[in-house]
Amino acid sequence: MSSAGYEAKCMGVDLESGSPGGRDARYHIMVVESSGHVIYKAESVSLAKLIRLAWEYRPEKIGFDNIYELGEDERSLIRILSLLPPKTSVVQVTLVDGQFLDVREVARRAGVLSDYSKLDPSKTAYINAVLSCMGYGSNIRSVEEKTLIQVSKLRSHSPGGWSQQRYQRRIRAAIYNVANSIKEALDRASLDYDYYYRESKGGLESAVFTVYAPREAVEGIVSEYEGQDYTVKIKPVYRSKLLVTVKQHIKASKPIIVGIDAGTTTGIAIVDLDCRVLYISSSKNLDRGSIIDTILRYGKPVAIATDVSDPPETIRKLASQVGAALYTPPYDLSVAEKRELVERIIGESIRDSHERDALAAAIKAYSSIKTKLDQIDKKLEGLSEEINREDVKKWVISGLTIAEALERVIEGLLEHEGAKPRIVEEKIDKHKQVDVSAYIVELERLRAQKEILESKIKNLESAIREYERRLREIQYNIRIEVLRDNEVVKLQSRIKDLESYIESMRSTISRLEDTSRRLVDVISRVAKGDVIIARRIPVLNIASLKKSERILGELRSKEVIVVENPGIFEDKALQYIKNTGITAILTNNLDSPLANTLKLYEIPVLNIKDYLVEDIQDIEVSIIKSSIIDDAKRELEKLKSLRKPPDIERIIEEYRAQRREELSKSMRVSGIK
Cβ burial 341-355 (10 Å sphere, 16+ → b, else e):
bbeebeeeebeeebb
Q: Is the pLDDT of residue 423 over 70?
A: no
Check residue 238 and give its pLDDT.
66
Check residue 547 and give its pLDDT.
92
Cα dihedral: 210, 245, 315, 462 (round 10): -170
Reported as a pLDDT band with limits 50, 70 and 90, residue 459 is confident
Span 493-545, pLDDT tens digits: 788 888 888 888 888 888 777 777 777 777 778 888 888 999 999 999 999 99
Reported as a pLDDT band with limits 50, 70 and 90, residue 382 is low
Check residue 139 and give its pLDDT.
82
Check residue 383 and give its pLDDT.
67
335 and 349 Cβ atoms separated by less than 8 Å? no
Check residue 504 and give its pLDDT.
84
From CA 57, how far away is CA 576, in angstroms rounded? Answer: 91
Reported as a pLDDT band with limits 50, 70 and 90, residue 431 is very low
Check residue 540 and give its pLDDT.
93
Q: Is the pLDDT of residue 35 over 70?
A: yes
- Region 10-139: CATH code: 3.30.420
User: Which residues, 6+ apart, have CB-to-CB distance to 101 below 8 Å?
Assistant: 94, 95
CATH class for the domain made up of 254-282+293-422+439-459:
alpha beta
Higher pLDDT, 482 or 13: 13
**SS3 sequence of 279-298:** EEEEEECCCHHHHHHHHHCC
Identify the weakest region by mean pLDDT among 73-77, 389-393, 413-417, 423-427.
423-427
Reported as a pLDDT band with limits 50, 70 and 90, residue 115 is low
480 and 428 Cβ atoms separated by less than 8 Å? no
For β-strands 10-15 and 265-272, DSSP reports them as unpaired
Q: Cα dihedral sign for 488, 491, 493, 495?
A: negative
When pLDDT is averaged across residues 413-425 and rounded to a whole number, the result is 47
When pLDDT is averaged across residues 69-97 and rounded to a whole number, the result is 81
Q: What is the pTM of this model?
A: 0.43
Higher pLDDT, 584 or 286: 584
Span 284-296, pLDDT tens digits: 877 787 788 788 8
Identify the weakest region by mean pLDDT among 10-19, 508-517, 656-665.
656-665
CA distances from 354 to 13, 278, 307 (A): 43, 16, 11
From CA 7, how far away is CA 85, in angstroms rounded? Answer: 13
Check residue 489 and give its pLDDT.
64
Phi/psi at 308 (nearest 5 deg)? -120, 150
Phi/psi at 358 (nearest 5 deg)? -65, -45
Tell me the HSE value of 366 on the side-chain side, using a 13 A CA sphere.
24
**DSSP single-letter state for residue 308:** S
When pLDDT is averaged across residues 377-395 and rounded to a whole number, the result is 71
Per the prediction, the chain carries an average pLDDT of 80
From CA 58, how far away is CA 7, in angstroms rounded? Answer: 6
Q: Is the pLDDT of residue 422 over 50?
A: no
Reported as a pLDDT band with limits 50, 70 and 90, residue 298 is confident
Percent of the chain whose pLDDT exceeds 70: 81
Q: Is the pLDDT of residue 199 over 60?
A: yes
- Region 143-249: CATH code: 3.30.70
When pLDDT is averaged across residues 184-197 and rounded to a whole number, the result is 88
When pLDDT is averaged across residues 418-428 and rounded to a whole number, the result is 38
Span 590-620, pLDDT tens digits: 988 888 888 888 899 999 999 998 888 777 8
Check residue 113 and give its pLDDT.
78
* Identical fold between 10-139 and 254-282+293-422+439-459: yes
C-alpha triplet 454, 458, 460: angle, nearest 5° = 115
When pLDDT is averaged across residues 114-122 and rounded to a whole number, the result is 75
When pLDDT is averaged across residues 218-247 and rounded to a whole number, the result is 76
**In terms of Cα–Cα distance, which of 324, 303, 280 is closest to 369?**
303
Check residue 648 and give its pLDDT.
56
Q: Is the pLDDT of residue 420 over 60?
A: no
Reported as a pLDDT band with limits 50, 70 and 90, residue 163 is low
Q: What DSSP element (H or E) covers 52?
A: helix 47-57
User: Which residues, 6+ apart, have CB-to-CB distance to 92 below 8 Å?
Assistant: 63, 64, 65, 66, 67, 137, 138, 140, 244
Span 464-474, pLDDT tens digits: 888 888 888 78
Strands (E), 594-652: 605-607, 612-616, 621-625
33 and 26 Cβ atoms separated by less than 8 Å? no
Identify the weakest region by mean pLDDT among 18-22, 268-272, 415-419, 646-650.
415-419
> DSSP per residue over 510-545, as a string?
HHHHHHHHHHHHHHHHHHHTSEEEEEEESSBSHHHH
Can you tell me whether residue 192 is helix, strand or coil? coil
From CA 422, how far away is CA 457, in angstroms rounded? Answer: 44
Domain boundaries, the chain: 10-139, 143-249, 254-282+293-422+439-459, 529-642
Span 312-333, pLDDT tens digits: 888 888 888 888 888 899 899 9
155 and 171 Cβ atoms separated by less than 8 Å? no
Residue 54, judged by CB atoms within 10 A of its CB (0-12, 13-18, 19+), counts as buried
Reported as a pLDDT band with limits 50, 70 and 90, residue 31 is very high
Reported as a pLDDT band with limits 50, 70 and 90, residue 261 is very high
Higher pLDDT, 359 or 314: 359
Q: Is the pLDDT of residue 426 over 50?
A: no
From CA 9, how far away is CA 6, in angstroms rounded? Answer: 10
Strands (E), 287-426: 300-305, 325-327
